[in-house]
Chains A and B, each alone.
Chain A
Amino acid sequence: MKPLTITICTGTTCYVMGSGYLLSLQEQIESACSRPIEIVGSSCLGLCKDGQYGCAPFVQIGSTVIAEATPEKIIETLKQQTARNPMEQI
C-alpha cells in the first residue's frame, strides 16, 4: 500500500504550539491507523495568519487541514479518510 503523506507545519507558531512533537510520532500513528504513512515537514504553511483555519499547530492530509492538531485528531482523520477511500492515496 502506498504511504499516505502527512504534512506537518514547522513554522514558528506551529512549532511553539507543539508540532515538533508530532514530527516524531511516525511509528505510533502508523500502528494506530494500521496503514503506512509518511511524515513530511513543511516550512510555514501560512494557515495561522487570518484565523480562518483555526489555531496552530496545523497538519495537512491531502486537502484536509487539521487545526490544533493532536495525535488523536490525526489518527481520527486518517481513519475517516481510509474508510472513505480504502485503497487510494488521498
Chain B
Amino acid sequence: MNNRFFIEVDCARQNKHGQGAPGDVFLSQRDPDEGRIVCVLADGLGSGIKANVLATLTATMALKYVRSDMDICKAAGVIMSTLPVCSRRKIGYSTFTIADIHPDGRIRMMEYDNPPAVLLEGPTVLPLEKKSMEIQTAHLGPRPLFYSNFRAGQETRLVLFSDGLSQAGMGRPKTPLGWTAEKAVLFLREQIRRLPNISARQLCRAAVTEALRQDCLEAQDDISCAVIYFRRPRRLLVVTGPPIDSRKDPLLAARVAEFDGRKVICGGTTANLIARELGRTVQVDLSFLDPEIPPVSMLEGVDLVTEGTLTMSKTAQLLEQNQEPDLSRPNAAVRLMNILLESDQIEFVVGTKINEAHQDPNLPVELDIRRNLIRRIVWLLNEKYMKQASIEFV
C-alpha cells in the first residue's frame, strides 16, 4: 500500500442523446498487491450497442494485455484485427487510451486516436513527450500510436477524454468546431484554480456537464472524461458498534478524539458511549426527516453521526447500485456514502458486541449482522471505487 500519495480514479459519462448504451467504455483495475493501476478509455465506432461492443472488447483486451506486460504495439495490432467488422462501414474500429500507473507515480501511456491526454500540476499543463509508433491494423493499414513515459507528482491530475467532449456543440453558431480540446483544458484549469482540492469525481462530472451544456443538453456523441488524481490521502475513520469488552470503551473514544482525518460514527449506542467517554452530548438533528433512514445526530468533533444497521444497509445498497449521491435525497445513508466517496483511506473499527435489541425475530431482515454488512461495504469500496478500506474488529 502506497502512503506517499493516493491515486483517485473516476470517470463520468454521458450517452449520446437517444442511446441507451454507452459507446465509450472506461475500465480501471487496481492490483491489490502491487498497487498498480491500469485504466483504459475506449471509444467504439458509431454509437449505441455496436459501439459499446467494440469499446468493451477493446478496453477489456487492453486491460488484460497491459497487466500481463505484453508488448503494447503488438497488443494494439491484435485488438484492431480482432474487433468485429461493421457491415456498413467495412471496418472494425475503436480508439483507446491506456494508462499503466505505478503506485510511485510512474506512468506509461499509450494513445490511439483519442484526443490527447492532459497532465495538469495544479492548474498548470505539463508538457508530455510522446513518441509516435506504428501499429498494423487489418482494415486501415499502418496507424500511429503515441507512447509516453513520465512521472506524476503530488497534486497532479491526468485527464483522459473522448472526442464527444472536445467536439461537443459542433456545428452550432457559437462553436462551429465544437468546444475543442483547448477550451476543455482551459475549463479544467479554471475548475482547479477555483477549487484546488477538487476530487477526480467532481472534476470529471463538471467537465461532462459543461460538454453537455455545449451540446444544448442533447449529446451529439458519447461524452466521457476520466480523471486520475495523485494527491495526499484523505483519511476517514468509521466507528460502528460497541467493543465486546466495555473496558475498551475509553480506548475507542480516545482513538476517535485523536484521529487525524474525518470521523464518522454509525450507531446510536456507539455514539452515546463515545460522547459519555469524551464528556460531550449527542443531539439528534430533526431538520431533515426521511421515511426509511433515521436522522443524523451531532457530536462535537465528529463529522457525521448516523444510526447503525439501517443506514449502513442502505449505503451498501447505494454503493452497489452506483447511485449519484449529489442527486439523491440527503438522508443519513446518502451523506455516509458521500463522505466515503470523498475519502481515500478508510479505516472501519467495528465493535463486535451483540445488540440484544436486534435479536427479535419479528424485526425486518434488513437488520443484518454488522460484521457482514461492513465486509460488504469494504469490498465494494475497494473493488468498485478503488479506495483503500480496511476493517478492524474490537
Contacts and interface: CB of A to CB of B under 8 A. Distances in A.
B213 interface: no
Contact of A23 (B286, B292, B309, B358): B286
Contacts of B268: 10-12, 43-44
Nearest to A9: B268
B244 interface: no
Contacts, number: 70
Contact of B356 (A20, A40, A41, A50): A50
Contacts of A44: 268-269, 272, 357
Nearest to A11: B268
Contact of B363 (A16, A39, A41): A16
A41 B286 contact: yes
Interface residues of B, number: 29
Interface residues of A, number: 21
Contacts of B295: 10, 23, 41
Contact of A16 (B271, B285, B367): B367
A43 B77 CA distance: 62
B247 to A, nearest CB: 19
B307 interface: yes
A24 interface: yes
A8 to B, nearest CB: 9
B70 interface: no
B284 A43 contact: yes
B284 A13 contact: no
Interface in A17-52: 20-21, 23-24, 39-44, 46, 48-50
Interface in B333-351: none
A56 B360 CA distance: 11
Contacts of A39: 286
Interface string B350-379: 000001111010011011000000000000
B363 A46 contact: no
Contact of B289 (A20, A42, A49, A56): A20
11 contacts: A12-B307, A12-B309, A13-B358, A13-B363, A16-B310, A16-B366, A41-B284, A43-B268, A43-B269, A48-B357, A56-B357
Interface of A: 10-13, 15-16, 20-21, 23-24, 39-44, 46, 48-50, 56
Given A44-B272, A56-B357, 20 more contacts: A10-B284, A10-B294, A10-B295, A10-B307, A12-B310, A12-B358, A13-B358, A15-B294, A16-B363, A21-B291, A39-B286, A40-B286, A41-B285, A41-B286, A43-B272, A43-B297, A43-B307, A49-B356, A49-B357, A50-B356
